[in-house]
Amino acid sequence: MRTSLIFLSLTALIASSYTVKAQDTTYLSLDDCMKYAMKHNYTARNSHLDVLIQEAQVKETLAAAYPHINGKAEFDDYVNPPVLLVPANAFSSFGGGGGGAINKDSTIALSFTPKYSASATLTGSQTIFDGSVLVALKARKSVLELARQNAEVSNETIRYNVFKAYNSLVIAYRQYDITKTSLAYARSIEHDLIVTQQAGFAEKIDVERTSVQVNNLATDSIRIENLLAVSEQALKYQMGMDINTPIVLTDTNVAEHRQETMSLLEEESDYNRIPEFRLSEAALKVNEYNVQRYKLAALPSLNAIASTGYNYATDNFTDLFHKQYIFSTLVGLQLNVPIFNGMLRVNQLREAKLNVEKSKNNIEFAKQSIDFQSAQSRTTLKNAILQVQSQRRNLELANDVLDLSQKKYKAGVGSNMEVTTAQTDQLRAQTNYFNALLDLINAEADLKKALGLLK
């Protein structure tokens, strides 16, 4: 009775652990993986932070257009007050005493600075006109757009990697299932042959030949299983997911995927869909604003200034707390006129214009690259589709040959050698087919990236 209770407790514990694992399993479509990667991939997260950093930098630049107000409180103790040396005979006109003659070459040290002073002031300034600030106000949207397009280029690369990793894992799972099925059948044949040999109706070479086939299939099964683990970890890595999280893929319909691939060949190119092209355009706008900024830097800038505060100075420290402080106020305008700065602005303007030309060249190069990559990817995809169709027909033929040889063997009119050969041909056809599918996935990913369709 006690043994039964222990067994039931262990059974319940194991069942509950499987339930927890099942609950923790994450089911993911390709779109789910894309969205997850955009939130958790570290490159995507840093790209988003780069946009926020750029927004903060734009606001820092715009701060020049707002009033600047500063407060200041100061206390000074002149331990050794500064003195002014004046000729001694400067005071002779006021009457000197003593009847002594004053040496005209002698000097007297006079201090006009009280030992203690205290002040509290409030200053402010407001830019009325500054060419650099004016351009910064106009360019802020373009600067932010440049940061966003930089982030979009990074995000597209992440989606590209997730797309390839997801579909590669789908193909690996399918290949693993077929290999396990083939291994189970080969073991069944091996068992039948062993029994037949023991009964004296089969030769040892037939059993050994089948055993070799079983060992090869078992090795392939282990190899593909290990590849599955690595491929699954690669997908999680691209997504930014913990590699220990159990997942199940839901977009596993390879046949439907091939139909979508066929329709992709009819898709027309559009430069505005390509992040790299939009990035080049955004860079051109920013460089054009730089040209304007250095042109306007030759104009004077005008600022309004104001200052108000209290101050007092005395040789008696206690007077700082009892005497009335002097209140003063200042308002004014400040005009700064650039005259000559060693040709700095001229060379800055020249550099900005050259950058504009470089950006225009980059846009033309981006168009050329997009056209080339699109054409090349279309050709590669067409060839991949033809290869998949060819390998699929070969696999179907290999399956038919294997099925026929198995039926002949069971009916006693075929040999084990014929079955083994047919199974070897089928495995080779399966490998070729799955390799062709993998090439198809990579070609599709390349074309979608060239067309800007990885969303």
Q: Could you tell me which residues come within 8 angstroms of residue 175 by beta carbon, excluding any fewer than 6 positions away?
A: 224, 430, 434
3-class SS of residue 118 = strand
User: For residues 399 and 415, what is the distance between their CA atoms, to the nearest angstrom?
Assistant: 17
Contact 310, 324 (CB under 8 A): no
CA R_g for the chain: 42
Sequential pLDDT tens for the chain (455 residues): 444 443 344 344 444 444 444 447 889 999 999 999 999 999 999 999 999 999 999 999 888 889 999 999 999 999 888 888 888 776 665 555 445 555 666 788 888 888 899 999 999 999 999 988 899 889 999 999 999 999 999 999 999 999 999 999 999 898 888 888 888 877 887 777 787 777 776 677 777 777 887 888 888 888 888 888 999 999 999 999 999 999 999 988 876 666 778 888 888 889 999 999 999 999 999 999 999 999 999 999 999 999 999 999 988 888 888 888 999 999 999 999 999 989 999 999 999 999 999 999 999 999 999 999 999 999 999 999 999 999 999 999 998 998 898 888 777 777 777 887 888 888 889 889 999 999 999 999 999 999 999 88
**Which amino acid is residue 172, in one-letter code?**
A
Q: Could you tell me which residues come within 8 angstroms of residue 92 by beta carbon, excluding any fewer than 6 positions away?
A: 102
Contact 447, 385 (CB under 8 A): no
Domains of the chain (ranges, CATH numbers): 26-66+130-299+338-451 (1.20.1600.10)
Q: What predicted TM-score, i.e. pTM, was given to this entire model?
A: 0.81
Contact 240, 42 (CB under 8 A): yes
